[in-house]
Structure 1
Amino acid sequence: MFLWELPQLQNKNHSFQKSKENLVVFAKSCGNFFYPKHRSPYLFLTNFLNPGNYYLNESQTQVREKSFYFLNADDSIAIDYSKPVTLQTLLILFDDEFIENCITNLLSTEEQLLNFNTKKINFHIPTVPFELNERVQKILCFLINNSSYKENVDFYLYELVSEFVKMNDKTSKQIQKIDAVKTSTKTELYKRLFIAREFIRENVSKKITLDEIALEASLNKYHLLSNFKQLFQCTPHQFSTQLKLSKAYQLLKHKKGSVTEICESVGFDSIGSFSHLFKNHFHISPSTLLKN
């Protein structure tokens, strides 16, 4: 089922009523919306246009358009859209049985499925942001454009869960590699490092400092530097440079300006340094790529 307005408070216990079907909410709002802390079903959550403010398992969280969260059943959530900004919110409230059947089907062997010998699988989702990658974006686009047909909606929701199971497995393994004793500390550090990486992405054409990245992620800059490299196998500066070079490549390929203009537009100070880095990375000079 699809709704085009944000949900209103269902009952005095502050929880969504359990439903035997999946519910997709795709709604635009302009602030002045508050939904108090309540228990959540399995829930997919993202925002477009501007970040949305939430409290996820007691932690204040900004959900941006390039990322999403996926909550476990009975996690807690509060929605606070107090700022007068335009938001396009996508909430997907999953029926528990639908998720459990998806997980069982995706994580069981072919032999178990053929023999109807499956067991309930424990599936836990950490409260961290996940990247809204190209595959997820395509599924969401198909989902919204096929909102009139329940069979199509359930198919695309299954595709979404299937993609997410792989992402959750990868992310959970990354979290476990973080050098901290408590799982809660690992999770919180992963969340802040993810925020740091997304801040770099959002400001790829600007000259941002390590201090600015650390401030955005609420981390000491030396703590950020060592853990960022451990988790993502590169420093924040190296990651920023890779993004700048990739953006420059696309601009040059599509002839969106001169080499000098593109060099400046992606945040390089020196044309010589830019050309040297570009040629080392792509094995072709910027001027040659522009001509071709």
Structure 2
Amino acid sequence: MIYLPNELSKISKNVISSNYLNLCLYETRKNDDYYEVLFDDYALVFINDGYKMIHTKKQDFTINKNEILFFTKGSYLIKDCVENNYYNSIIICFKESILIELIYKYKALLNSNFTTDEHIFKLNSNELLSSIFTSFLPCFSYKTNEDILKLKFEELFLALLYSKNNHSFLSFLKTIITNFKLSLYQIFSYCEQDFQSVNDMAKISNMSLTTFSKNFKQSFGISPKEWLDNKKFEKAKFLLEFSNKNITEICLEVGFNSPAWFISRYKKRYNKTPKQFQKSKNLYFLH
């Protein structure tokens, strides 16, 4: 059993990890037997060379060169088949939280009346989608920050929404919304508001902290504390780059109580201290 995205480094040396998504360039020169893969996140797979066979309880899939396969969370039997002694694919595993935010941002496009209960399906590719997938390749050669990866993923998401005959993808997105334990209004309100604590989020839902935390994780795929910290660090990063406030002021403004904790966690997340990032990016501090 291979667990993705946690074990991407076991199948490839070309892996980029971030808080929202994991990017992998997977290559092989042998026809493997079927092996079981458990996806803990959603995944998109784009085939550059060769083809892939997937076995499920309901049906078998074959995805060929320049085609896209969408995986929901779950376990699948997969075989990589080489052509001309080579198989190559791009794998993007992504959190439910980033998917929810994009659903909200582009909710006007989700006007499909189709329904689906599928957990894996092909997506129609085209020249634009192929070019977006291959545009991820330079990221493996040059250090790429999380903001660029998120923007590129948003570009891919939007291209999928606008592509023709994409009813399965649109229907799946609508299925996600209808299956949430939290109301649509509440989910989208979380994306727009600045909360200082998980307790504040639970209060707006009229739930106990325990019930809210359980339902939130079922809906978003991560704990509300992790989701809230991600939002706070995003805001802190923006303030570090575009304001003239000092580290302590920014720490307190985004809702962290301890500057020492903030500095330590920021460095672990971005491989730079807040001050190092500020000095390298902020015009107020550049000399």
Q: Same fold (TM over 0.5)?
A: no
Q: Which has the higher contact order (CA 8 A, sep 6+)?
A: 2
Indicate the structure (1 or 2) with the bigger Cα radius of gyration.
1
